[in-house]
Amino acid sequence: MSTVSSHVLDAVTGRPAAGVHLTLARREDDGVFAVVHTGRTDDDGRVAGWNTAPGLHRLRFDTGDWFAAQGTDTFYPEVEIAFLVADGHHHVPLLLSPFAYSTYRGS
């Protein structure tokens, strides 16, 4: 079994983005993506290790709702990142601002 975690940081304020809704989906053998986990980032902007099987995954961040709750407009109402999961742990950080975002494979 593999695990996936994430950390969302508000690049404008330099603070964790608490309360961002995330959805992790895995592509099944028939090519359809099935939801594996949903949740929200904690007060430190983190989602800890969700268990999943290896394969192609999509991690969707509902950034529009989070920015609206902050009273801020955004160009990106959601961010979706596709990545391959192998055995072991996979960390997918998101650096977020209203008009840009960045991600990388963390440790």
Extract the annotated binding site: 7, 46, 104
CA 40 to chain centre: 9
Place of tokens 């407009």: 73
Q: How many CB atoms lie within 10 A of CB 43?
A: 8
Return d(Cα 21, Cα 40) in angstroms, integer.
4
Return d(Cα 52, Cα 23) in angstroms, integer.
13
CA 49 to chain centre: 12
Which residue positions form the known binding site for substrate? 7, 46, 104
